[in-house]
Each structure stands twice: as structure tokens, then as C-alpha cells.
Amino acid sequence: MAINWLQRHPRIVDWALVLFALVTTVGAATRHGGIAVGIPIAVIVCLPLLWRRRYPVAVLGAMVAPTVAIVAVGGGYNPIPVGVALFTVASECDRRTSLRAGALALAVLAVPLWARAGWGNGWRLLGELIGFAVAWLIGDSVRSRRRYTEALEERAERLERERETEAARAVAEEQARIGRELHDVIAHSLSVIVVQAAAARDVFATRPERADEALANIETTGRGALGELRRLLGGIRGDAPFAPQPGLADLDELVGQVRGAGLDVHVAIDGQQTPLPPAIDLSVYRVVQEALTNTLKHAHASRAEVALRYAAGELDLEIRDNGTPTGNGGETGNGLIGMRERVALFGGSFAAGPRPDGGFAVSARFPLAEASE
């Protein structure tokens, strides 16, 4: 707790160091030249420490120069200011810079200190220089620990950003999926309802039984659409249980709705039917649903064919109609874009366009082997 408080208030630490250095330097200088000499020397030697964090190398030079002069004239020598400056250089600068600055400072100090200790008394000089080396080593250790802590914090921030990005991507994908589901449900159901309502209005006076049948189909389609919308929106809110997603098992019900709207639909299945992964099962169903919806809305067709071909490792799907070749919503409508995205999600291929012999065709290939891995 105390360390964190000191880290948040570095200027208090600087002033405390300066005051400590001043007291010890004044004491050392006073013993040699009196108080009148000690105070000015202490101020000159110690005051630059206030700028040690901003200009560590320059402050080290400002410490060494007067210290050399004091030692040379036999004044009161105090190693603390130079030791603090060496510590600061090692803790604030890169290792190469601090090594060079520290070695140069010790080399400059060694000459007057050796002369002061006596040229034959190398052990005393070594003892004094070791104290400076220890100050540098402590500063270098602080710098290394700080860099390590900063690297950990940077890594934690990067991981947090990656988690946020991944969460945002997952949300966007889920929103896109829900958007496609809503489009498929609403577009199909409303198309069937509009067609049935138009048919009921046309025969309401002359053939009321057909009008009643059309109204019953509208009710059934509307209820089904409301059920799917409740499932989707309830899943978003999280306050409703998830209902099973539709799939090829519901294809007969889908075809029945479209037939009830007046479009004759024929379904052909070729090959050995195999269980599909749930995601592909839903996507195949949605492609058929969207293609038949487009046929109802745009093609003015009377007949449509849905062909499912199971082969080794893939499922081929084709929906053809005999309507207006250019009336199936175009080749770049939102419905076709959604179908293309659904197929591409599984690494499959998709094509849609007018048929040479008339009508419109939508074809898709789903690779089942890759999806099952």
C-alpha cells in the first residue's frame, strides 16, 4: 500500500531524497570547512536531484562534476547524491545508455578517489566504487521489474481488447443470423398471406368456399409466422425457451403453404438421405423457403420444382420455376444475397439466374464432409 502511494506521488520522493542528501552533505562539508562552506556546497551538489527523472544523464553529470572538485580539494565528500543519480540513470534509461553513463561517471570519480585514498590503497577505492555499482544494479533491477510489469499490463490490455473484439464479432454474427432468420420468416409468410388474400378477394363473391379455404391458410401461415417470431425475439430477450429450428423435416409443411398460395410445387429427392448437421439442415430449409418466396412474389409462375440430390460428401439443391426469367427478384436482391451467405458459410457454392429454356433457377451445393469434421 505504501509503495503504491509513493508511486502515485513521485515528487514527494524526490524532495525527500533531496532533503536527505542535503543534510548528509551539509554535515560532511561542515566538518571540513564550516557551516558557511557546507551549505552552498550541499545546495550545488544536491539540488539537481529534483530533475533526476526528467534528465537522468544530465543530473548524473551535474552530480559528478562538483563531487570530483570536492574530493580533489579535500572537502567533505558525500557519496549519496552520486549514488542516487546512478540509481536514477539505471532505472530510467535503457541498459546500454545507463552502462555507458555509469562507467564514465565511475571512471571520472576513480581518479580523485584513488588519489584521496592513496595510490597504494586500491582496496579502499574498490570498496567505494562497489557502493556506486550496487546503486546502479538496484536501479537496473527496478527498471527491469517496471518493464516486466508494463509488458504484463500491455498483454492484459491486449487480451482484453481481443476479448472485446471477439465478443463484438460474435454479437454482430448473431445479429446477422437473426436478421436473416427474420427476413426469411417475414418475407415468406407475408408473401403467402398476400397471395392468399388476393385469391380470397377474387373468389369471395363467386366461390365462397375457396375464399374460406384461402382465409384458413392465411390464419395458419400467420400463426406459424408469429410462433417463429416469438421464438427469435424471445431468444434475444432471453425470457422464452428456444423452440427447435426448422429443417428439411418441415419441408412438407412449407411446400403445403406454398401450394395453398396457388403455386404447384413438386419435390424430388435423389440418393440416400442422411442426417444433416443442424446448421446445414436449417440453411437448406431457408434456401428453399427463400427461393419459393421469391417465385411467389416476383416470377408469376404456376409451377416450381425442388430437387435434393444426396451424393458422397455433399448435398446438391436446386429450385426451378416456369415464371418470368427476370422476375425472380433479380440476381442481386437481398434474398439472394442472404442465400449466398448461408451457403458460403459452409464452404459451398451458390448460383442463381434465368434458365435457358425459360424460368428461373437457384442452385446450391453444401459440402457435408467438411461440415461434419
Q: Coil, helix or strand for 209?
A: helix
- Sketch out the chain's domains with CATH numbers: 2-120 (no CATH), 247-373 (3.30.565.10)
| Residues near 39 by beta carbon (within 8 Å), at least 6 away in sequence | 26, 29
The DSSP symbol for 245 reads P
Question: Cα(82)–Cα(88) distance, rounded to whole angstroms?
Answer: 10
- Check: CB of residue 231 under 8 Å from CB of residue 242: yes
Q: Which residues pair with 309 in a beta bridge?
A: 270, 316
Taken in order 305, 306, 311, 313, the sign of the CA dihedral is positive
User: Which of 292, 339, 302, 353 is closest to 323 using CA atoms?
Assistant: 302
The position carrying cell 548528509 is 24
Helix locations, the chain, DSSP H: 2-8, 10-33, 35-46, 56-72, 80-92, 95-117, 122-203, 208-237, 251-260, 278-294, 334-344, 368-372
- Whole-angstrom distance, CA of residue 339 vs CA of residue 352: 10
**DSSP per-residue codes, 69-105:** HHHHTT-----HHHHHHHHHHHHHS-HHHHHHHHHHH
Task: Identify which of 156, 150, 140 has the alpha carbon closest to the alpha carbon of residue 101.
Answer: 140
Q: What is the pLDDT along the chain (373 residues), one digit of tens a residue?
A: 444 544 565 667 667 777 777 676 666 666 655 555 556 766 777 778 878 888 888 888 888 877 777 776 665 667 778 888 888 888 888 888 888 888 888 888 887 777 776 666 666 667 778 888 888 888 888 888 888 888 888 888 888 887 777 766 765 665 666 666 666 666 666 666 767 677 667 766 677 777 677 677 776 776 666 666 666 565 555 554 545 678 888 888 888 888 887 889 999 999 888 888 877 888 888 889 888 888 887 778 889 999 999 988 899 999 999 887 655 555 555 677 778 887 887 888 999 989 888 889 999 999 986 544 4
The pTM assigned to this predicted structure is 0.43
Q: Which three cell numbers stand for residue 279?
A: 446448421
Radius of gyration of the chain (CA): 42
CA-wise closest residue to 85 among 68, 97, 101: 101
Residue 42 corresponds to which cell in the numbers above?
550541499
